[in-house]
Chains A and B, each alone.
Chain A
Amino acid sequence: KQEVTQIPAALSVPEGENLVLNCSFTDSAIYNLQWFRQDPGKGLTSLLLIQSSQREQTSGRLNASLDKSSGRSTLYIAASQPGDSATYLCAVKVGKNSGGSNYKLTFGKGTLLTVNP
């Protein structure tokens, strides 16, 4: 059974700092890995998607890496801003779900990031 763990559970940093969020997964047989952002009481916004054949993806101040063999991914946020404060979730796309359909996303519990002005 695929399990996704995110460390740390919460992180508080001063504005301007660079930071790294970690995600690990137990089964390396994944199709892809996605990083999402969730604001309180809201849905999820996709930040970056890394296919299993890729090593990293970048979007603006965000960079995500994937080491599939070791079951790890990191999300690097450069020059953090108060507006980056949110919960960051990683999810891996794995094989068939238990209903027999195509696949499922398995999520970690997230890292609650607070960027202080």
Chain B
Amino acid sequence: GAVVSQHPSRVICKSGTSVKIECRSLDFQATTMFWYRQFPKQSLMLMATSNEGSKATYEQGVEKDKFLINHASLTLSTLTVTSAHPEDSSFYICARDSPTDTQYFGPGTRLTVL
């Protein structure tokens, strides 16, 4: 069964609004979780690493004030896309590690900004 869940699976919003995406580790306390973005026919790109109890670390070129990450507990990380614009429309996927090094991914969230 799934070990990482995401909510919502799809969201459509108007330009300028903020959208929050939740990522839950269902079977494992994850001190670190990862947020990726995938554009059509492109690779997954790591946006940021979410650290429980401390600030997230962002990849180069990712605006931390636009993509707010909160890792409030060992099972929940959230990504908030603030003041969303059409160019933020993408597929957002979270993931967590495991003791075996395998990385487990959530089912993804399709964001469409009108």
Docked-complex contact B59 and A42, CB < 8 angstroms:
no
For A45, list chain B residues within 8 Å (CB): 105
A109 CA to B49 CA in the complex, in Å? 21
Q: Residue among A31, A51, A106 with the most chain B CB within 10 A?
A: A106
Q: How many A-B residue pairs have CB under 8 A?
A: 71
**B: contact size bracket:** 20 to 34
For B60, list chain A residues within 8 Å (CB): 98
Docked-complex contact A43 and B106, CB < 8 angstroms:
yes
Check A44/B93 contact, CB under 8 A, given A51-B101, A105-B46, A109-B41: yes
For residue A101, CB closer than 8 A to chain B, the reply is yes
Among candidates A31, A36, A98, A107, residue contacting B59 with C-beta atoms closer than 8 Å? A98
For A34, list chain B residues within 8 Å (CB): 102-103
On B, residues with C-beta under 8 Å from A are 4, 6, 32, 34, 41-46, 48-49, 51, 56-60, 91, 93, 95, 100-108, 110
On A, residues with C-beta under 8 Å from B are 4, 31-32, 34, 36, 41-46, 49, 51, 89, 91, 93, 97-102, 104-110
